[in-house]
Amino acid sequence: MTEAWLEPAAWLIILPLAWASVAFLAGPGRGARLAILALVAQLGLALELAADLTQRGARMHAVGGWGAPLGIDLMADGLSAVMLLLTQAVALPIAVYAQAYFAETHHRHAATWFWPLAGFLLAAMNALFLSADLFNLYVTLELLGLAAVGLVAVGGGTAQITAALRYLLVSLLASGGYLLGVALLYGAYGTVSMTTLAPLAVGQTPLAVWIAAGLMLVGLLAKTALLPFHFWLPPAHGGAPAPVSALLSALVVKASFYLVLRLALGPFAMMTGTAAGLIGVLGASAILWGAWQALRAQRLKQLVAWSTVAQLGYLFLIFPLLAADGLALQAGALQVVAHGLAKAALFAAAGVLMRATGRDTVEGLAGVAGRVPLTLFAFGLAGVSIMGLPPSAGFLAKWLLIDAALKQGQWGWIVVIIVGSLLAAGYIFRVLRQAFLLAPEDSHFQPVPRRLEWVAFVLAAASVLLGLRGAELVALLGVGS
Amino acid sequence: MNRFTRGLAVAVGVALAATLVAALLELPAAAVYLPGAVAQHLAQSGVEHPVTAVLLNFRGWDTLLEVAVLLLALLTLLTLRGSEAPVAEVEAEPLLQGLARKALPLIILMAGYLFWAGAYRPGGAFQAGAVLAAGAVLLHLAGLLPAWAVPGRLLRLGLILGFLVFLAVAAGLLGQGALLQYPPALAGNLILLIEAGLTLSLGLVLAGLFLFVTGRQA
Amino acid sequence: MSTGLLYALSGVGLFMLGAVGVIVLAHLMRKVLAFNVMGSGAFLVLVGLAQRTGQPDPVPQAMVLTGIVVAVAATALALGLARALHARTGGVTLTQGEDGD
């Protein structure tokens, strides 16, 4: 790309902001078709950016033309490109799903301002993945947090408003910690640009900077719902309408994880190195506790939400294993992508199952296998990736993680990974088994739009098939690192 | 929350504050000195006041996204509407009404001044918008302006216009080499255009944060 | 000790006071007020610490303006949600344990 005005990184942020605004202007409930069209373009832009990066390496875009530290830099490297690709690749099918999902009169209220909220949510994520400025990242974090809270509340029920309020308070407390950290860093170094700051932080690290790192990391871990900060996630993700749950669980929690990783690879390498063991232990506990709660959950969407708590745990196992060979980093990125696609598929399928049975319980699934076989197949396929069976992307991620642990002789993590996979198999098969039981006499099923079923299937298939293309993803990840 | 966790939170807070105070007392001077860079480039920024230059030019990207944050809060509050019964309007007080009528022209004048002053002294679109919004709230409390229902097309346009202008300028300047890269000759006028749009829209948005919520039984 | 540093130290105190308040207080209105105290503390640190040498610095001042607007948006959203919750349940606190399966 030679012409400045076609810069894909810039348009990946401008475009969703624009369609969110136009959707608001168009009025309540409007904007679905525009969003889908724009998301096709965004997916194209993300692919173009990825292709461009592979050819020419990482690059900066100095907003305003000033350049850091006076101005704000956008930076695109392999890690950002992977996150951007995942975001657009999940958002497009979910938008197609949401259009059909909200067409039902029953869900009209939830759809009133869904499209502008979703547009701002996607813009916030794209802006976050591209920013190289710690204060600008604070603004994108708040934009993302408020959009996510708005989407949780979109259903308007008491449980949803309670979940949204709790989510908002956790989110504000967390970004408050992050902001205080940024204030301390500016005081210590006089800049908030990550590129300017990273060498300074390595050279001279006063106590205030250690505290800043601690405040920022704890805040981000709370936003990522790492145990023991996971309590807000199951009600928020499990209570929202299905397309919202899919966006939140597949993408939003990954954004704060991405930032933890970015800081750990950049200015806070030393601090995360010190705390790596603790972060790993928290991740391991999340894997076991989340899966255990998913096994016990009575409601289907709660089960899927607890599965998110468990699967996020794997992401934090990479911190004690980060090494020069890059294995753990690759495992982390693959797990982000695999879980993103698979979890979007699971929530999309859960939405179909709830629609078909008319209720949100695991028990009520009896007999549903005969009615929506495609959806059940999608649930199983996504389950393959969640459990980490070959040839799925989830398998590749967990395999790389085990490989990294073996190379460093850290056997304990391997046990956790394997037990976590067994527990995951437990809760996935619990759903499948129930669905294949005979339907009780008094049960009746509602018809479901075919489009909802196909979206769940496409996402699930992608999460499995991506395992075959892992090498390309790893190559892209290597750009600029 | 039981007494133990409460005590723990207080203890952690106090310990952290004490450590932080100790850390700040021994913090060495910063390596980078940005005020120098701001002063050096102020002439090309299009405005004379350094804070406005940072807000609308050097770090204008933050400001663009921050307007979106306000719009998001408004959108969510709009989502929550509809399920609650409206209450009867409060009885109007003649004294308050008279005061509000007298104050309104002054409020508009004040907002206009703040908007204009932003270029060379403390002021700007956010302050002006806040004053306008306060005027709308005052009118509502005096019973002269009803609470807002679902926004019509014109109100929606007013709410989003400032953001759309800002966004269009940011994207339109991509041809200059980067987002929001003002050509120095046009910088002043473009910033004025953005600030004008923002003054109107932020006034409406901030007023909306109150007027879309009020007037219902809580 | 310079004025800037004094502001920063008071900011640390306010931040911790507010943060503990958000966690410990039960009434939603108090939580929202505590959040604002916490935010003001962070803003004081941002501006005060940067100006501890006595030189004014417009960069953190602009950042704080941005931060204030974000805090206004968050406060409005929290109050709106709290009102909606009160309208539905009559409660003014987040009770633990619902959706707890």
Percent of chain B with pLDDT over 90: 77
Is A168 in contact with C31 (Cβ distance < 8 A)?
no
pLDDT for A203 equals 84
- Identity at A458, one-letter amino acid code: V
- Residue A42 contacts residue A16 (beta carbons within 8 Å): yes
Q: How many domains does chain B have?
A: 1
Dist. CA A256–CA A142, nearest whole Å? 11
Reduced 3-state DSSP string for chain C:
CCHHHHHHHHHHHHHHHHHHHHHHCCEHHHHHHHHHHHHHHHHHHHHHHHCCCCCCCHHHHHHHHHHHHHHHHHHHHHHHHHHHHHHHHCCCECCCCCCCC
Is B6 in contact with C24 (Cβ distance < 8 A)?
yes
Q: What are the tens digits of pLDDT across the range A451-460?
A: 999 999 999 9
Q: Are strands A72-76 and A59-63 parallel, antiparallel or unpaired?
A: antiparallel
Does residue B192 lie in a domain region? Answer: yes
Does residue B85 lie in a domain region? Answer: yes
**pTM for the whole thing?**
0.96
pLDDT for B150 equals 84
Burial class (CB in 10 A: 0-12, 13-18, 19+), B191: buried
For chain B, list the contacting chains (3+ Cβ pairs, <8 Å): A, C
Number of neighbouring beta carbons within 10 Å of residue A415: 11
**Contact residues on chain A for B59, CB-CB shorter than 8 A:** 64, 71-72, 135-136
**Shortest CB distance from B174 goes to which of A10, A146, A147?**
A10
- Residue A32 contacts residue A22 (beta carbons within 8 Å): no
**Contact residues on chain A for C59, CB-CB shorter than 8 A:** 186
pLDDT for C97 equals 41
Q: What are the tens digits of pLDDT across the range C45-93?
A: 999 999 999 899 999 999 999 999 999 999 999 999 999 999 888 889 9
**Contact residues on chain A for B61, CB-CB shorter than 8 A:** 63-64, 72, 136
Instruction: Report whether the peptide linkage leading into residue A228 is cis, meaning its omega lies within 30 degrees of zero.
Output: yes
pLDDT for B218 equals 37
- Residue C57 contacts residue B34 (beta carbons within 8 Å): yes
Q: Does B201 touch chain C (CB under 8 A)?
A: no
DSSP character string of B160-212? HHHHHHHHHHHHHGGGGTSTT---HHHHHHHHHHHHHHHHHHHHHHHHHHHHT
What 3-state DSSP class applies to B96? helix
Q: Region B117-142: what's the mean pLDDT? A: 92
**Shortest CB distance from A186 goes to which of C46, C81, C94?**
C46
Dist. CA A145–CA A386, nearest whole Å? 26
Does residue B13 lie in a domain region? Answer: no
Instruction: Report whether the peptide linkage leading into residue A199 is cis, meaning its omega lies within 30 degrees of zero.
Output: no
pLDDT for C98 equals 44
Instruction: Look at residue C100 and tell me whether its pLDDT is greater than 90.
Output: no
> Which residues have C-beta within 8 Å of that of residue A95, sequence separation ≥ 6?
A32, A35, A36, A39, A118, A243
What's the start-to-end Cα distance of chain C, in Å? 54
Q: What are the tens digits of pLDDT across the range A377-394?
A: 999 999 999 999 999 999
Is C69 in contact with B13 (Cβ distance < 8 A)?
no
- Residue A350 contacts residue A430 (beta carbons within 8 Å): no
Q: Name the residue among B28, B32, B12, B24 with its Cα closest to residue A200.
A: B32
> Which two three-digit tokens encode residue C72?
């206004």
Dist. CA C84–CA A157, nearest whole Å? 10
**Contact residues on chain A for C39, CB-CB shorter than 8 A:** 176, 179
- CA of A226 vs chain B CAs: smallest distance (Å): 19
> Which residues have C-beta within 8 Å of that of residue A476, sequence separation ≥ 6?
A50, A53, A54, A78, A81, A82, A85
Instruction: Look at residue B88 and tell me whether its pLDDT is greater than 60.
Output: no
Instruction: Look at residue B87 and tell me whether its pLDDT is greater than 90.
Output: no
Q: How many CB pairs under 8 A join A and C?
A: 106
Q: Does A140 touch chain B (CB under 8 A)?
A: yes
Domains present along chain C, CATH in parentheses: 3-89 (1.10.287.3510)
Helices (H), chain B: 3-25, 34-45, 50-53, 60-80, 94-117, 125-141, 153-172, 184-211
pLDDT for A11 equals 97
pLDDT for A443 equals 78
Instruction: Report whether the peptide linkage leading into residue A391 is cis, meaning its omega lies within 30 degrees of zero.
Output: yes
Instruction: Kindly list the distances between the CA atom of residue A470 and the CA atoms of A156, A396, A398, B106, B150, in Å, as whole numbers in the listed order.
Output: 41, 7, 12, 65, 48
> Which residues have C-beta within 8 Å of that of residue B148, sequence separation ≥ 6?
B155, B208, B211, B212
Q: Name the residue among B84, B119, B77 with its Cα closest to residue B206.
A: B77
- Residue A145 contacts residue B65 (beta carbons within 8 Å): no
Q: What are the tens digits of pLDDT across the range B153-164?
A: 999 999 999 999
Q: Residue for token digits 């991405």?
A: A258
> Which two three-digit tokens encode residue B70?
């306000």
Number of neighbouring beta carbons within 10 Å of residue A284: 23
Burial class (CB in 10 A: 0-12, 13-18, 19+), A320: buried
Task: Enter the ipTM.
Answer: 0.95
CA torsion angle for A64, A66, A68, A71 (degrees, to 10)? -50
Average pLDDT score over chain B: 91
pLDDT for C36 equals 98
Burial class (CB in 10 A: 0-12, 13-18, 19+), B155: middle
- CA of B131 vs chain A CAs: smallest distance (Å): 24
pLDDT for B89 equals 59
Reduced 3-state DSSP string for chain A:
CCCHHHCHHHHHHHHHHHHHHHHHHHCCCCCHHHHHHHHHHHHHHHHHHHHHHHHHCCEEEEECCCCCCCCEEEEECHHHHHHHHHHHHHHHHHHHHHHHHCCCHHHHHHHCCHHHHHHHHHHHHHHHHHECEHHHHHHHHHHHHHHHHHHHHCCCCHHHHHHHHHHHHHHHHHHHHHHHHHHHHHHHHCCCEHHHHHHHHHHCCCHHHHHHHHHHHHHHHHHCCCCCCHHHHHHHHHHCCHHHHHHHHHHHHHHHHHHHHHHHHCCCHHHHHHHHHHHHHHHHHHHHHHHHHHHHCCCHHHHHHHHHHHHHHHHHHCHHHCCCCCHHHHHHHHHHHHHHHHHHHHHHHHHHHHHHHCCCCCHHHCCHHHCCHHHHHHHHHHHHHHHCCCCCHHHHHHHHHHHHHHHCCCHHHHHHHHHHHHHHHHHHHHHHHHHHCCCCCCCCCCCCCHHHHHHHHHHHHHHHHHHHHHHHHHHHHCCCC
**Shortest CB distance from B209 goes to which of C23, C76, C84?**
C76
- Residue A267 contacts residue A325 (beta carbons within 8 Å): no
Q: What angle do CA A398, A401, A402 make, to 5 degrees?
A: 90
Could you list the pLDDT tens digit for every one of the 481 residues in chain A?
457 788 999 999 999 999 999 999 999 999 999 999 999 999 999 999 999 999 999 999 999 999 989 999 999 999 999 999 999 999 999 999 999 999 876 667 778 899 999 999 999 999 999 999 999 999 999 999 999 999 999 988 899 999 999 999 999 999 999 999 999 999 999 999 999 999 998 888 999 999 999 999 999 999 999 999 999 999 999 999 999 999 999 999 999 999 999 999 999 998 888 899 999 999 999 999 999 999 999 999 999 999 999 999 999 999 999 988 889 999 999 999 999 999 999 999 999 999 999 888 999 999 898 899 999 999 999 999 999 999 999 999 999 999 999 999 999 999 999 999 999 999 999 999 999 998 887 778 889 999 999 999 999 999 999 999 999 999 999 998 7
Residue A406 phi/psi, 5-degree rounding, is -60, -45
> Which residues have C-beta within 8 Å of that of residue B15, sequence separation ≥ 6?
none
Q: Name the residue among A181, A384, A13 with its Cα closest to residue B180.
A: A13
pLDDT for A421 equals 96
pLDDT for A1 equals 42
- CA of A305 vs chain B CAs: smallest distance (Å): 23
- Residue B65 contacts residue A121 (beta carbons within 8 Å): no
The number of angstroms, rounded, from the C-alpha of A44 to the middle of its chain's C-alpha atoms is 20
pLDDT for B82 equals 58
